[in-house]
């Protein structure tokens, strides 16, 4: 059994959810809006759609625990979590640590203004977790710079998962003064 778990997988990461659902026999997708979750139900088989607010830490931990119990140990976890939920990632990692011994890859997606060093120091990792940081940058053209499109973000995340590198920047972050 293979299990992918994606948090925030109905917006800019929708294509990542679809890709995971074709690659893994079970894919848990967590977001609040039920309609947007249901729209994903035809994208693959073995979907576990979880309508939940990740700021509700106890409910989040329960959802992770139940997903592992029902669909097997998580192989890959992808998270896009806003900074208004600082307890979410530590709670998720603690719950995975408590409920599975099998190794897993954790892809942590962060916005453009976050420092990768500060992100790395914030998260305490279980020993069987390999962490991969993905930071969203911007694109610079001849005339102007712009933020990434949803397609570029999803493609960049999929490539990062395929590559398995520890650090990925989608687009560019330097020189920071060129940002849109």
Q: What residues line the site for ligand NAP (CB under 6 A)?
A: 8-12, 31-33, 36, 53-55, 80, 82, 111-112, 136-138, 147-148, 150
CA 80 vs. chain centroid, Å, equals 5
Is residue 151 within 8 Å of residue 15, measured between CB atoms? yes
CB of 33 to ligand NAP, least distance (A): 3
The dihedral built from the CA positions of residue 26, 167, 96 and 56, taken in this order, carries a sign that is: negative
- What's the rounded Cα separation, in Å, for the pair 42 and 31? 17
CB of 172 to ligand NAP, least distance (A): 10
Cross-strand partners of 139: 146
CB of 145 to ligand NAP, least distance (A): 10
Is residue 28 within 8 Å of residue 5, measured between CB atoms? yes
Q: Which CB atom, from 43 or from 147, has the smaller least distance to ligand NAP?
A: 147
| Burial classification of residue 124, based on how many CB atoms lie within 10 Å of its CB (0-12 exposed, 13-18 middle, 19 or more buried) | exposed
CB of 128 to ligand NAP, least distance (A): 25
CA-based nearest residue to 169, from 110, 126, 117, 93: 110
Q: Which CB atom, from 102 or from 136, has the smaller least distance to ligand NAP?
A: 136
CB of 15 to ligand NAP, least distance (A): 11
Q: Which CB atom, from 1 or from 11, has the smaller least distance to ligand NAP?
A: 11
Q: How many CB atoms lie within 10 A of CB 75?
A: 19
CB-nearest residue to ligand NAP: 11
Q: Which CB atom, from 127 or from 141, has the smaller least distance to ligand NAP?
A: 141
Q: Which CB atom, from 128 or from 167, has the smaller least distance to ligand NAP?
A: 167
């Amino acid at each position: 059994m293979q299990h992918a778990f994606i948090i925030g997988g109905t917006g800019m990461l929708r294509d990542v959810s679809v890709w995971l659902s074709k690659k893994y026999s079970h894919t848990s997708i967590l977001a609040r809006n039920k309609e947007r979750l249901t729209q994903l139900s035809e994208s693959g088989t073995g979907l576990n759609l979880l309508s939940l607010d990740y700021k509700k830490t106890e409910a989040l931990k329960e959802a992770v625990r139940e997903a592992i119990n029902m669909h097997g140990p998580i192989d890959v976890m992808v998270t896009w979590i806003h900074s208004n939920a600082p307890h979410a990632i530590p709670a998720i990692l603690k719950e995975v640590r408590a409920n599975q011994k099998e190794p897993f890859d954790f892809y942590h997606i962060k916005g453009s203004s976050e420092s990768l060093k500060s992100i790395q120091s914030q998260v305490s990792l279980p020993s069987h977790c390999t962490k991969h940081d993905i930071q969203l940058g911007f694109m610079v053209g001849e005339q102007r710079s712009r933020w990434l499109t949803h397609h570029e973000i999803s493609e960049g995340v999929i490539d990062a998962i395929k590559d398995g590198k520890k650090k990925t920047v989608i687009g560019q972050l330097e020189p920071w003064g060129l940002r849109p």
